[in-house]
Amino acid sequence: MRLLPVDARTPRVPGPPGHRRGRAHEHHARRDPPRGAGLRGGGGLRGGGGYGGGGHGDRTGGAPVTRSRTARSGARGHHAIRPAPPGRGAGAGAGGLVAGAGMALGPWVGGLLTEHLSWRWIFWVNLPVGLAVLLTAAAVLRLPDRPERRPVDYAGAALAAAFASSFLLTLEWGGDRWPWLAPQTLALAAATLALLGLFLRRQSTAPEPVLPPRLFRPRALRLGFAVQLLLGIGLTSAIVQVMLYLQVARGLDSASAGLFLLPMAAGMTVSGLLAQRYARRRTRLPLALGTGGGALGLARLAASGAHTSPWATRGALFVLGCGFGLLVGRLVQYAQDSAPAGLLGVTTTAARFFQTLGGAAGAALTGVLLTRLTGLDGAAGRGHDPSVTVPGAALSFTGGIDTVFACLAVLMLLATALVLRLPAPRTAPAGTPPGTPEPPPGRGDRAGARERVG
């Protein structure tokens, strides 16, 4: 259970008899709304846990003062539910937009490098870029001092990496390198399940787990992570399959095909910025519009053919980008606003992890599905020379990739259904002015706080 710090105005109670005193203080705090920054701030997050303080608890003298007792307490900045700082939501949204736009622009840059230099440069170019990022972070990033060292769950991290790698290799090699029921595929699948079991076991026993089990107790995070997974599948698979469609069915080179993704990047940027500006106080509406827009764009791509107008394809990609632009940053922001006490950092990381895992799994699954539907041996589906594959396989490939886009559209409709079931975030949306009064607590506040804390 997450413990809150106490101060001079919060009574230190020796044990269970102090329960009534805690309730009296809670009623006093409701009549005297607090001022100042809340626990969702920067250096004082969760009583000193910070963005990276996932799973860390604070202990004070006497009996613990828990969030279930002070769910709406106003003890000088130590109450548990406050509006999130306005800068954090904008930062999360901007980070998501940059990441999403980078995914859309990456194929174009990679196409240029492949056409004019060599395919090896799509890997070499990451070295100077990564070095520049490290140097910039070392120069400008200022983190608060943490005198107390926390143990790092290296075993859990290694098991998570091993499980993800084994899972993706099963999807990649199954049905391609080996048949699905071949001994090699079954052994790899068994190893994946064994690694998953070891990882879950480790997370339930580790003092500082990588992915704490109580992170999945709030319904908001369970549904939010599921939507993140579906977003990763839809976003990455759409980019990969669009590039294949343009090169194989339309006969474009990789650089020219990458230019078609510029409307998608523009749509992501425009919709994300508009959502940050005009939809700060809403949660489900922008997300539902995003998943619905993604489904609409994918459905339009599913209706495309070898002779579809290039402007129609660009329009579908712009709609697709507008939909995804409403999701990539706001889903992370929603997860942060719904994070249990002390788990803000690990919640943010988990949201990114599920999106990345979904992207990798989606690319592998759609590749396998496309190979099955087209009857090709993977030459077209893996980006080989378009001049070899276009003459005899364009019609077959177009029919198969239309089915892939239709399946992705159905997944985005499923994401829309999940978004409509998302509960309101625990804190006010980012951008709410500090000091905005909260609505009166209902009868279920304490029960909800207990559920969130565990």
DSSP per-residue string spanning 62-114: SS-EETTT-TT--STT--S--PPPHHHHHHHHHHHHHHHHHHHHHHHHHHHHH
Q: Please compute Rg for the chain using Cα positions.
A: 25
pLDDT at site 413 = 92
178 bridge partner residues: 174
Q: Give exposure, 180-205, as e/b (b: 16+ Cβ within 10 Å).
A: eeeeebeebbebbeebbebbeebbee
Q: Phi-psi category of 2—alpha, beta or left, where left has phi over 0 and alpha has psi -120 to 50?
A: beta
373 falls in which pLDDT band (50, 70, 90)? confident
Does residue 200 sit in the same domain as residue 348?
A: no
Cα(96)–Cα(302) distance, integer angstroms: 26
Last residue of a domain, one of 208, 234, 253: 208
- Scanning the structure block, which residue is given the tokens 């101060």? 7
List the structure tokens of 438: 């909260």
pLDDT in tens, 24-70: 444 444 444 443 333 333 333 333 333 333 333 333 333 333 333 33
pLDDT at site 296 = 92
Per the model's pLDDT, the better-predicted residue between 76 and 311 turns out to be 311
Does residue 197 sit in the same domain as residue 296?
A: no
CATH code at 288?
1.20.1250.20
> Of 304, 331, 318, 319, whose CA–CA distance to 230 is shortest?
331
Q: Is residue 99 domain-resident? A: yes
pLDDT at site 356 = 85
What own/partner pairs with CB < 8 Å and gap ≥ 24 does 43-46 have? 43/144, 44/77, 45/344, 46/2, 46/341, 46/342, 46/344
pLDDT at site 222 = 87
Q: Is residue 83 domain-resident? A: no
Per the model's pLDDT, the better-predicted residue between 401 and 383 turns out to be 401
Per the model's pLDDT, the better-predicted residue between 34 and 303 turns out to be 303
Does residue 256 sit in the same domain as residue 335?
A: yes
Q: Give exposure, 315-335, as e/b (b: 16+ Cβ within 10 Å).
A: ebbbbbbbbbbbbbbbbbbbb
Q: Is residue 187 domain-resident? A: yes
Q: Which domain holds residue 169?
A: 154-208
Stretch 107-131: mean pLDDT, rounded? 77
Last residue of a domain, one of 163, 180, 208: 208
Per the model's pLDDT, the better-predicted residue between 306 and 8 turns out to be 306
pLDDT at site 396 = 66
Cα(284)–Cα(424) distance, integer angstroms: 8
> Of 10, 28, 27, whose CA–CA distance to 64 is shortest?
10
pLDDT at site 103 = 65
pLDDT in tens, 417-448: 998 888 876 654 443 443 444 444 333 333 34
313 falls in which pLDDT band (50, 70, 90)? confident
pLDDT of residue 391 exceeding 80: no
Cα(294)–Cα(227) distance, integer angstroms: 13
The answer to whether 316 touches 190, Cβ cutoff 8 Å, is no
Highest mean pLDDT among 81-95, 182-196, 278-292, 385-399: 182-196
SS3 at position 302? helix
Q: Is residue 80 domain-resident? A: no
SS3 at position 423? coil
**Average model confidence (pLDDT) across the chain:** 69
204 falls in which pLDDT band (50, 70, 90)? confident
Does residue 221 sit in the same domain as residue 196?
A: no
Count of the separate structural domains present in the chain: 3
The answer to whether 236 touches 358, Cβ cutoff 8 Å, is yes
- Scanning the structure block, which residue is given the tokens 């769910």? 71
Query: 281: part of which helix (H) or strand (E)?
Result: none
pLDDT in tens, 124-172: 877 888 888 888 888 887 777 766 677 788 888 899 889 988 888 888 8
User: Across the chain, how many H-helices and E-strands are there?
Assistant: 15, 2
Does residue 282 sit in the same domain as residue 360?
A: yes
Does residue 302 sit in the same domain as residue 169?
A: no
Cα(169)–Cα(192) distance, integer angstroms: 9
Per the model's pLDDT, the better-predicted residue between 235 and 443 turns out to be 235
Q: Is residue 219 domain-resident? A: yes
Q: Phi-psi category of 175—alpha, beta or left, where left has phi over 0 and alpha has psi -120 to 50?
A: left
Residues in the chain: 454
Q: Is residue 443 domain-resident? A: no
pLDDT in tens, 211-227: 888 888 888 888 888 98
The answer to whether 416 touches 72, Cβ cutoff 8 Å, is no
198 falls in which pLDDT band (50, 70, 90)? very high
Please state, in angstroms and as integers, the Cα–Cα distance from residue 33 to each residue in 11, 23, 74, following that order: 18, 16, 6
Does residue 288 sit in the same domain as residue 398?
A: yes
Does residue 169 sit in the same domain as residue 222?
A: no
List the structure tokens of 428: 């006010």
66 bridge partner residues: 3
Last residue of a domain, one of 208, 227, 249: 208
Does residue 335 sit in the same domain as residue 293?
A: yes
The answer to whether 317 touches 264, Cβ cutoff 8 Å, is yes
Q: Is residue 448 domain-resident? A: no
Q: What is the DSSP letter of 61?
A: S
Does residue 389 sit in the same domain as residue 306?
A: yes
Stretch 283-308: mean pLDDT, rounded? 83
> Of 246, 259, 255, whose CA–CA distance to 301 is shortest?
246
Q: Could you tell me the maximum CA-CA distance found in the chain, to the nearest angstrom? A: 82
247 falls in which pLDDT band (50, 70, 90)? confident
Per the model's pLDDT, the better-predicted residue between 324 and 99 turns out to be 324
pLDDT at site 395 = 66
265 falls in which pLDDT band (50, 70, 90)? confident
Cα(273)–Cα(276) distance, integer angstroms: 5
> Of 221, 191, 225, whose CA–CA distance to 353 is shortest?
225
Stretch 273-278: mean pLDDT, rounded? 74
List the structure tokens of 109: 């840059």
Does residue 219 sit in the same domain as residue 198?
A: no
pLDDT at site 279 = 60
pLDDT of residue 193 exceeding 90: yes
SS3 at position 174? strand
pLDDT in tens, 318-372: 998 888 888 887 888 888 888 877 788 888 888 888 888 888 888 888 888 887 7
pLDDT at site 118 = 73
Q: Is residue 135 domain-resident? A: no
pLDDT of residue 19 exceeding 50: no
Cα(312)–Cα(320) distance, integer angstroms: 12
Does residue 115 sit in the same domain as residue 201?
A: no
